[in-house]
Amino acid sequence: MSERPDGLMQLQHVALNVPDVCACERFYRRILGMQLVWRPDEGNVYLTNGTDNLALHHAPAVEMSTAQRLDHLGFSLAHEGDVDTWDDYLTAQGVPIVAAPRTHRDGARSLYCEDPAGNIVQLLHDPRVGRR
């Protein structure tokens, strides 16, 4: 596939690796006023301010000394099928696919790829979010 697909809507979220998810959640909720979207487990929390979304992922402090704090960038896709269309396109363009398309526990569908600098990029359709 040589033509870029339609459907990439906006930057959907930023995901950060943090040593203390609870402390960071308190900061983003109490200080900045973000709302809880989903907490699938103790090591992950998803927040929003109604427009922008932030994911916090636990990374042990010993790993934080050498690890990148940015886990990945997430871009919204308009339709569930767009995830697979983008997978075909990115593969044809030689973009490394880090995680093939899959449906997540919350019903969202996504894939992960790598940009030329090694940053992880997620292309995501989340049926709970809808078009913006």
Domain ranges of the chain: 8-125
Cβ neighbours of 43 (radius 10 Å): 12
Compute, in degrees rounded to 10, the torsion defined by CA atoms 90, 96, 101, 105.
-140
Q: Residue 39 — φ and ψ, nearest 5°?
A: -125, 90
Strand boundaries in the chain, DSSP class E: 8-18, 35-41, 44-48, 53-58, 70-77, 97-103, 109-114, 120-125
pLDDT at 117 over 80: no
The strand pair at 44-48 and 35-41 is best described as antiparallel
Q: Tens digits of per-residue pLDDT, 55-80?
A: 999 987 655 566 567 888 888 888 99
With a threshold of 0.95, does the pTM exceed it?
no
For the chain, give the percent of residues with pLDDT over 90. Answer: 36
8-125: CATH topology: 2,3-Dihydroxybiphenyl 1,2-Dioxygenase; domain 1 (3.10.180)
- Give the model's confidence band at 131: pLDDT under 50 very low, under 70 low, under 90 confident, else very high: very low
Q: Tens digits of per-residue pLDDT, 20-57?
A: 899 989 888 987 688 999 999 999 999 998 888 889 99
